[in-house]
């Protein structure tokens, strides 16, 4: 049973999202309770999953019985289990809060709740994915649903959703370009397999360039200073019912993907601070923390204030995960 928990955590919101247009076609009042019920099941499964991982060890789920690196695999380790539980709890609280403040236009909207569930399912996929291409796929599903949710209220929000789409697409292009370089140099995309092959190729232009493109793409996705321009407007103009979910999950889950790639590929067991490609990360994190905090202080709109505060938090977490020791990493992830 425990070996199937990762896929169950993905299927609960995904299957509910797919079935919602059918189940709620004539009873649109079912949308909110059905979504809340599905995410409540996720919370229970996430708790069971965390207990299983802590007691039995990490779970590797191989799709179709094809083990990595040949097949697609998900890795359910303590970091993934904790993050998925956090995402599930935040999603449940956001749905409960959203039911109190959602606009009449969206209250019984089947597409709106379908998008929320697809967004949650995609976040789970990002956290569990053990290869670079599937991280890209799930990040893009989360991004596409995020664009639609930001613009769901119409009007001015559509402008900021479009800006979010443009910058998000640029970040995705950079990430995919980096993945292509790594695949050309190594012949694999599985993180564990890459970790075995990269040490001999760290002086390769293709590998170094690929890693730079990957981290630049992720930097845009997680709104790292100075690539944060899309975030304040998008979150400030998103519907109140969904803004807490977007603000508290997508950038943080992207940062988790960053950490997994950084510690799996670039420096397995090594001092991250000694890697030339990442030597500036600590300084960038400090800069993001200071600039985000300063801009938050001068805002008059509370949603923009929280948005800039989130940018500051990303910087603080990045400082922790970039110092290259277990204590700093634990502190950064705890702050996450």
**Each residue's pLDDT expressed in tens, for the chain with a length of 336 residues:** 567 788 889 999 999 988 888 877 777 677 788 888 889 999 999 999 888 888 888 777 777 666 666 677 888 888 888 888 988 998 898 888 877 766 666 656 778 888 889 999 999 999 988 888 888 999 999 989 988 888 877 778 788 888 888 888 898 999 999 989 888 888 888 887 887 777 777 777 888 888 888 888 888 888 777 777 777 778 777 777 787 788 788 888 888 888 888 777 765 544 444 555 556 777 787 888 888 888 888 877 777 888 888 888 888 888 777 776 667 667 777 766
pLDDT at 64: 66
On whether the CB atoms of residues 248 and 336 are closer than 8 A, the answer is: no
Whether this prediction's pTM lies above 0.75 is answered by: yes
C-alpha span between 75 and 57 (Å, rounded): 11
On whether the CB atoms of residues 225 and 295 are closer than 8 A, the answer is: no
pLDDT at 118: 92
C-alpha span between 31 and 169 (Å, rounded): 30
Nearest-Å Rg of the Cα atoms of the chain is 19
| Best CA proximity match to 175, nearest among 208, 144, 220, 142 | 220
On whether the CB atoms of residues 116 and 96 are closer than 8 A, the answer is: no
pLDDT at 45: 92
CA 253, 303, 35 angle in degrees (round to 5)? Answer: 55
pLDDT at 250: 84
Dihedral over Cα of 220, 228, 243, 24: its sign = negative
C-alpha span between 297 and 328 (Å, rounded): 27
Backbone angles phi, psi at 271, to 5 degrees: -80, 110
pLDDT at 272: 47
């Amino acid at each position: 049973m425990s070996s199937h928990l990762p896929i169950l955590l993905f299927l609960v919101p995904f299957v509910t999202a797919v079935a919602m247009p059918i189940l709620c076609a004539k009873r649109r009042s079912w949308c909110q309770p059905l979504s809340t019920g599905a995410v409540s099941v996720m919370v229970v499964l996430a708790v069971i999953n965390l207990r299983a991982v802590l007691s039995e060890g990490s779970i590797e789920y191989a799709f179709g019985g094809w083990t990595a690196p040949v097949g697609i695999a998900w890795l359910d380790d303590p970091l993934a289990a904790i993050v998925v539980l956090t995402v599930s709890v935040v999603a449940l609280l956001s749905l409960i809060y959203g039911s109190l403040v959602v606009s009449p236009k969206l209250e019984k909207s089947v597409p709106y709740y379908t998008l929320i569930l697809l967004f949650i399912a995609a976040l789970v996929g990002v956290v569990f994915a053990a290869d670079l291409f599937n991280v890209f796929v799930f990040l893009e599903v989360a991004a596409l649903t995020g664009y639609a949710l930001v613009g769901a209220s119409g009007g001015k929000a559509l402008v900021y959703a479009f800006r979010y789409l443009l910058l998000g697409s640029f970040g995705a292009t950079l990430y995919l370009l980096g993945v292509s370089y790594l695949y050309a140099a190594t012949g694999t995309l599985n993180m564990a397999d890459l970790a075995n092959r990269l040490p001999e190729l760290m002086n390769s232009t293709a590998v170094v360039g690929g890693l730079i493109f990957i981290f630049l793409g992720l930097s845009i996705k997680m709104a790292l200073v100075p690539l944060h321009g899309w975030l304040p407007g998008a979150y400030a103009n998103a519907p109140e019912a969904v803004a807490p979910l977007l603000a508290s999950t997508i950038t943080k889950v992207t940062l988790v993907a960053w950490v997994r790639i950084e510690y799996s590929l670039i420096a397995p067991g090594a001092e991250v601070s000694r890697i030339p490609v990442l030597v500036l990360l600590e300084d960038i994190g400090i800069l993001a923390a200071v600039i985000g905090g300063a801009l938050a202080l001068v805002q008059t709109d509370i949603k923009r204030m929280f948005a800039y505060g989130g940018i500051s938090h990303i910087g603080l977490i990045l400082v922790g995960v970039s110092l290259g020791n277990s204590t700093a990493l634990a502190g950064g992830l705890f702050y996450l």
